[in-house]
Amino acid sequence: MSDFVTLEVEGGIGVIRIDRPKMNPLNAQVQRELVAAAEEATERSDVRAVILYGGERVFAAGADIKEMQTMSYTDMVDHSQALQDFTRKLAGIPKPTVAAIAGFALGAGYEVALCADFRVAKVGTKVGQPEILLGVIPGAGGTQRLARLVGPAKAKDLVFSGRFVDAEEALAMGLVDRVVEGDVLEAAKEMVAPYVTGPAYALRAAKQAIDAGLEVDLQTGLEIERMLFAGLFATKDRTTGMRSFVEDGPGKATFEGA
Which is nearest to 227 in space by CA: 257, 258, 205? 205
Task: Report the alpha-carbon distance of residue 122 to residue 182 in Å, rounded.
Answer: 7
Tell me the CB-side half-sphere exposure of residue 81, using CA atoms within 13 A.
4
Beta strands in the chain (DSSP E): 5-10, 13-18, 49-53, 97-101, 104-106, 118-122, 126-128, 165-166, 178-180
Asked if 91 and 115 touch (Cβ cutoff 8 Å), the reply is yes
Task: Report the alpha-carbon distance of residue 13 to residue 10 in Å, rounded.
Answer: 5
Phi, psi angle pair for 97, to nearest 5°: -130, 150
Q: Is 33 an annotated catalytic residue?
A: no
Phi, psi angle pair for 214, to nearest 5°: -70, -20
Catalytic hit among 10, 131, 190, 215: 131
Q: Burial of 170 by CB count in 10 Å (0-12 exposed, 13-18 middle, 19+ buried)?
A: buried
Beta-bridge partners for 6: 17
DSSP letter at 104 equals E
Q: Is 111 an annotated catalytic residue?
A: yes
Catalytic hit among 10, 40, 111, 190: 111
Task: Report the alpha-carbon distance of residue 219 to residue 156 in Å, rounded.
Answer: 29
Phi, psi angle pair for 96, to nearest 5°: -60, 135
Residue positions annotated with a catalytic role: 111, 131
